[in-house]
Structure 1
Amino acid sequence: MRFKCYHAFLFVLLLAMLSSCVSRKKIVYFQDIEKLSQNSDVVKPSIAFKPNDLLSITVSASDLESVRPFNVIIESRPVVGGSSVFANNTQQPGYLVDSAGDIHFPVLGTIHVEGLTPKELNEYLISELSTYIKDPIVNIRILNFTVSVLGEVTRPGTYTVSGEKISVLEALGLANDLTIYGKRDNVLVIREENGKKSYTYLDLRNSDILDSEYYYLQQNDVVYVEPNQAQRQSSSFNRNSTVYISIASLMLSVLVLLFR
């Protein structure tokens, strides 16, 4: 009896050890970190405007009156309540890039922006506005720049990007990183350009992803983290099986001590 309990204990303990061991090669990012110095001259691509982008374009200058025609402002009327008068609320609407890739700008009329970067559009507007305004300053932002992070991440969802650039690592950071069940070597990035969808798989363990054109995300990109084998298997059995095995091994060890 003691002999059987002892071997059963060893068998269960071995199963627990095997189920809890995870190879470093499967979970550690940038395992070839020493190669990063070779990528220091990688040029960061700039985003380009697409149909359905919502742009915020603000024109300013030292002469405020001269820029007024180029800043479309929606003003709400003052609300009078009792003895109180509430101040006007102002809101600057965005410029929607239509299906033809155009926006309709005050005074200047229709401007084709599809394919232009924020810098290129900024330079164009400054050139055109200089006819009407002395030393104009133009500020451009994409109001609906979003990326979606799905799959085996801690907090999947769609996130709004405040700047002009976001890397796949920053997007994963917004989602609080991959879970332990996410595959680091097979992260899918889906992109739509000119009405056509493209995709690639990125290996987060390899610093070569810094050279990928998908490393910096674009508007409406989707990042999907595939579940690893352990997670796929968990759909057919309880994920807490390793905990149960540990409890069982503890109970067997107690039995061995009792019947020794």
Structure 2
Amino acid sequence: MLDWRAYIDETARAVSFLSRLPVPDRCFTGHDGSLSRTAAAFPLAGLLIALPSAFVLWLSQMLSADATIAALLTIAVNVAITGALHEDGLSDTADGLGGGHDREKALTIMKDSRIGTYGALALILSIALRTTALAALCTPGANTPAIAAWLAGASLSRGLMAWHWSALPSARVEGVASRAGAPGKQIANLALVLGGALAIALGWLTLPLAPLLAAVCVSGAISYVFTARIRHRLGGQTGDTIGACQQFAEIGFLVTLAIAL
């Protein structure tokens, strides 16, 4: 297990890996580049990465911006901060699964930097579903529920992303995820528990408990089904499927909350 000092360093490394936010060089002194322990900090890193976009959401609501505009601005800022890391994974995964009739063909398509029809549609639907769901959570006169939901989804989805990474072997030995070092079961479980705990804690004071727990469960179920599907089609995870898992988990969480509330 990690002590709190080591966890701070791992969180900084996770922020650097998952976003374009600057991190002090001292956090990487003596580090071998492995992410096998860093994955434990993914949920907290996800929360920190989402803070700037959460501020945009708060400011947009304070300025009485239309809910859809506020939600779209929030997601746009988040995409800029993460460098569309997870969206890229979703797009490549959709192209591979949609266009590849067998494992090798799917993996070959996923390595191609060009975007296809399935990938484009996946991106459109991801942005549309998250924007619509977040806009539905923007209640006039009460901006905290939407902000809490946004931050909770960011934390939970990163925990589930780490679990997906650990639950499957690497589909490509030369892939980025394989070279980075998959987290062990103990680290993945820590990330999963922390992601769920942060999601519940963030939403506890501003969101009804039943819809919140339902959203956590649906997000987890979607991630489980997606992981099972990847196991069947590809035999293992890649960096793209890890990113896609984050997107599915976040979509499931936000959409469930928007429907339940």
Where is the strand percentage greater, Structure 1 or Structure 2?
A: 1
TM-score band w.r.t. shorter chain: under 0.3
Bigger Rg over Cα: 1
Q: Name the structure where helix makes up a greater proportion of residues.
A: 2
- TM-score computed with the length of structure 1 as normaliser: 0.21
